[in-house]
Structure 1
Amino acid sequence: MTPREVAALLAYVVRLDPRLTLDDPAAAADRLTQWADLLSDVPATAPGWDAARVARDHIARSPYRIQPSDVSRPWHTHKADQLGRHVGTFEPTAHPHLDPDDVEGYRRALAAERHAIAIGQQAPTTHRAITAGPAAAEVERRLAQLGTYMPRTVAQTLATYRPHRAERERLARADAPDPLTVACTWCAAPEGEPCRGRAVNPRNEQTRHRPRSKPHPCRIEDATAAHLARRNAQETSA
Structure 2
Amino acid sequence: MKRILLTIAMALGAGSTLAGGGGLTGGATEITQIANNVELGAIFGEEAQQVAQQAQQLAHEIQMIQNQLNMYQNLLDNTANLSNYMWGNALNDLMALANTVQEGYAIAYSASNIDSQWQQRYKGYSNYLNNTYGAASFQSDYRVWYSAQRDSLHGALRSANLQSSQFTSEESTLSALENMSQSASGRMQAIQVGNQIAMQQVRQTQKLRELVMAQIQAQTNYLASEAEKDAANQARAERYFSGHSTTVVGDGKRFNPGSIVVRP
TM-score (norm. length: structure 1): 0.23
The structure carrying a bigger helix percent of its residues is 2
TM-score (norm. length: structure 2): 0.21
Structure ranking higher on relative contact order (CA contacts 8 Å, 6+ apart): 2
